[in-house]
Amino acid sequence: MAEARLSLLKWLKGHIPTRETIDQYRLLRPFASHLRHPSLWRMNRRSVPRGVAVGLFVAVIIPVLHTFVAALLAIPARANVAVAALLTLLVNPLTIPPLYYAAYRVGSWELHHDASVINPGTAERFSGELGRMLFWIHQASGPIAMGILTIATIAAVIGYVVATIGWRLWSGSRWQQRRRSKPE
């Protein structure tokens, strides 16, 4: 397991452009002035929580191509691009079904949507299984959209707060270690 992590990190370091190598990529040259901002590439107390928030929000809102979108949105937010892209991996094919079920439940609660109010006879008017399935998807789309937006916002806020507190605790422990190891 540790070898797999090391090989993944080595692969990422070899394939993700750094601040210094941006000019080598022809497609990135027009955006080079924006991509040179230090917060996008350094781990600091402001860019990491921003990256966590952007990554979690985009991961929940957009089920496909979310890594690319999170990296793009990290640029104007001055968030750490790698952290934003990495956190989108929390939403994957295994986590999407429970996420969408939770979104439906949350959205139904927020919108006071009662599925039992829908008349099954109305669904029967549509011919075939595909028509009935599309009818039920149409009826559930509002609560799912509202639930996804709510879950994404809550995940981003909680991720930001946890990352900020975690960063402060980590940096505080580092200062304590330095203070103890410093000869008097």
Measure Cα distances from 21 to 26, 53, 71 in Å.
Answer: 11, 26, 17
pLDDT the model gives residue 181: 81
Positions in the chain whose pLDDT score sits under 70: 1-2, 4-6, 8-9, 12-42, 113-140, 184
pLDDT at 108: 82
pLDDT of residue 154: 95
Cα 165 to Cα 7, 38, 52, distances in angstroms: 30, 22, 12
pLDDT the model gives residue 38: 59
Distance CA 146, CA 181 (A): 52
pLDDT on residue 20:
64
Amino acid 148: pLDDT: 92
